[in-house]
Amino acid sequence: MHAIGIDIGGTKIAGGVVTAEGDIVAQARIDTPAGPEIIDAVAIMVEELSVGYEPVAVGIAIPGFVDITRENVRIAPNIDWHDVPVAQLFAERTDLPVLIENDANAAGWAEHRFGAGRGVAHMTMLTIGTGVGGAIIAGGSVFRGGFGSAAELGHICVHPGGLECACGARGCIEQYASGRALQRYAHGRAERDGGGLQDLIDRAGEITADGFIELVEAGDEGALGALSDVGAELGKACAVLQAVLDPELFVIGGGVSAVGEPLLGPIRRSFESAVSASGRRPIAEIKIAAMSGEAGLIGAADLARSSLGTHH
């Protein structure tokens, strides 16, 4: 039984026809148009993807705040949406049931159903991108909170009075463990120590993601140190989340997570050092996300299907 998943990003929109086992059997990708044109563009994508598959529902992952009904987007700055009745607008263009979900929740659900968290009832996911995103799976369901905005994990305070965040607060983990923070640590180490990071800047004009990962894989001391800085901060956030949520598993996602153990090691050490009652109670495992970059659309499709009671 097929469902369509759509993942709307700031620059690209990805769509796919997804089976009940989480496999993508057809895909489409377009550049993200201006805010008001997104609805029409996605409606056309859904129509084209539907040919030959008879999907039962459409799930749409949005980079923003989705209300508790999962029908309206409160705010999605990256695509310039404010109080948009997305489900209603799509209902006017398709006969299929439409469900809206926050993109991090959708990706977290995909990991729970088909990836690193498969079979784990209580899981928390942290994704490292431009900022830090998150998803909470509690009792086998996405936890959304009272207003639909739970799991804004990037805004856990780990340094009271610290760096100012775009959210208006200070000391948020996003300022210390995001891709931007990693860049800051890497540039600081390059200026101080030179080495491979400075060579990369001299060669490429900046610290590129691919170049940084190559340095990590080659064992470059500066790159590993910058990664350790991020891992130490993420470990502190995991310790806070363990105290509040008591998950069985933390899943770490996002592009830089592909390096694996050089990131996991510092996270685990920091986590075990900071978590309450360390060594005297069970605490979560920490794993790297297993799903591909299509996790958002896979999770959105599966959530839409499950909302019909046809989850399996």
Backbone angles phi, psi at 121, to 5 degrees: -80, -30
pLDDT of residue 273: 95
Residue 24 pLDDT > 90, yes or no?
Answer: yes
Kindly list the distances between the CA atom of residue 283 and the CA atoms of 60, 252, 271, in Å, as whole numbers in the listed order: 33, 16, 10
Q: What is the pLDDT of residues 72-86, one digit of tens each?
A: 898 888 788 889 999
DSSP string, 245-294: H--SEEEEESGGGGG-HHHHHHHHHHHHHHSTTTTSS---EEEE--S-TT
Set out the domains of the chain in order of their start, with CATH numbers: 3-109+293-306 (3.30.420.40), 119-288 (3.30.420.40)
Q: What is the pLDDT of residues 249-300, one digit of tens each?
A: 999 998 889 899 999 999 999 999 999 988 889 999 999 999 988 999 999 9
Residue 124 pLDDT > 90, yes or no?
Answer: yes
Q: What is the pLDDT of residues 41-98, one digit of tens each?
A: 999 999 999 999 999 999 999 988 898 888 889 888 878 888 999 988 988 888 899 9
pLDDT of residue 166: 84
Q: What is the pLDDT of residues 153-202, one digit of tens each?
A: 999 999 999 999 988 899 999 999 999 999 999 999 999 999 999 999 99
Residue 8 pLDDT > 70, yes or no?
Answer: yes
User: What SS3 class is residue 70?
Assistant: coil
pLDDT of residue 293: 85
**Please, are residues 130 and 291 in contact by the beta-carbon 8 Å criterion?**
no
119 contacts: CB under 8 Å, gap ≥ 6: none
CA dihedral 29, 32, 36, 37 (to 10 degrees): -40
CA-based diameter of the chain, in Å?
A: 60
Kindly list the distances between the CA atom of residue 43 and the CA atoms of 35, 88, 145, in Å, as whole numbers in the listed order: 14, 12, 29
Residue 311 pLDDT > 70, yes or no?
Answer: no
Top-confidence range, 7-11, 222-226, 305-309:
222-226
